Amino acid sequence: MTPNGEYVANSHDVGERISWTLRPVISTKLNLVVYEDGYKEDYPDTRELPAVGDTIDTSEKVVEDEKLVSKTVSRKVASIVTWEERRRVMKGACLNCHNDTYVDNFYKQFDDLVVLYNEKFAKPAKAMMDELIADGVLNQDAPFEHEVQWVYWELWHHEGRRARHGASMMGPDYTHWHGMYEVSKHYYEKFLPAVIKAAEAKSGAMGRKWQQKVDEHLSREEHQWLKGLSPEEAERLRRMYQQRYNE
Ligand code: HEC
């Protein structure tokens, strides 16, 4: 029992209580589909859920002739565990040691960090990469041909994951200095310039099109801080630090 009188997390299947995936380019919440034979499958919340009782073609990796192949297996849906339910059960584990305000505050910070990473950096970066493929600037089958592809890969797979995992594991140094600091530094200083460079390598007209797209992107509100603070904002910030450190 916890101070709140709950005891909900009594399984050792830790994956059952995971509400976000921090693995892909863009994080999504994860629902869980459980089949009658005990097989389980994560469903990103962007994928439509089946109904209980539906028969679904699932794909399973098996070894045949020493090769890993995908096999289709028909399975009947026994139950669905939504991401909200998975989180409720995880909170049950936390509540064995912490009170609910503490745990809710943790999840508020964690969610906000993932949403910030998703909305400000990952979604626009992915949209640009997809459009560069559609424009014939990048070749989908040559994922490391251009500098921009290396930079993009590291943006989500290295610093982008460190930031998200850092937040989930309560590691401020990883969340910020090895995480979001590098995500934003590399986004502005490496990724966007490399987007333009790749487009220019295709043609002058393509380069001009992408220079304009990047300029428009940077004029969005969330990127204005790069251009500096207004005198009022700068003064407010100075006063806050004077008070905080009694300087
Ligand atoms: C077995 C008891 C226990 C459980 C279960 C537990 N914690 Fe903790 N947690 C602690 C203790 C003890 C500390 C303080 C560690 C320290 O002071 O170094 C702590 C620290 C923390 C901190 C502060 C970390 C920091 O660097 O300041 C956060 C946030 C936190 N826990 C959240 C959670 C969440 C969220 C869960 C559930 C997913 C959870 N805890 C589960 C015992 C627990």
The pLDDT tens digits of the residues spanning 147-162 come to: 999 999 999 999 999 9
Locus of tokens 């982008």:
160
Task: Write out pLDDT tens, residues 27-65.
Answer: 999 999 999 999 999 999 999 999 999 999 998 888 888
Q: Does 201 contact ligand 1 (Cβ within 6 A)?
A: no
Query: Is 3 a residue whose pLDDT tops 60?
Result: no
Alpha helices in the chain, H assignment, sequence order: 83-94, 100-116, 123-134, 147-154, 160-168, 172-175, 181-186, 192-202, 204-218, 231-245
pLDDT, residue 209, reads 98
Contact 47, 80 (CB under 8 A): no
Q: Note the pTM of the prediction, 2 decimals.
A: 0.89
Rounded to the nearest angstrom, the distance between the alpha carbon of 193 and the centre of ligand 1 is 41
CA of 241 to the centre of ligand 1 (A): 29
More confident residue, 96 or 247: 96
Ligand 1 pocket check: which of 20, 170, 173, 175 to mutate, most ligand atoms within 8 Å of Cβ? 170
pLDDT at 79 over 60: yes
Average pLDDT score over residue span 221-239? 91
Name the closest-CA residue to atom 43, ligand 1. Answer: 97
* pLDDT score of 1: 47
CB atoms within 10 A of CB 156: 22
Instruction: Specify the pLDDT at position 160.
Output: 98
Q: What is the β-pairing status of strands 55-64 and 30-35?
A: unpaired
Three-state SS string over 207-224 comes to HHHHHHHHHHHHCCHHHH
Does 107 score more than 50 pLDDT? yes
**Ligand 1 center to residue 33 CA distance, Å?**
29
- State the closest ligand 1 atom to the C-alpha of 172, by its place in the atom list counted from 1: 26
Distance (Å) from CA 123 to ligand 1 centroid: 31
DSSP state of 16: G
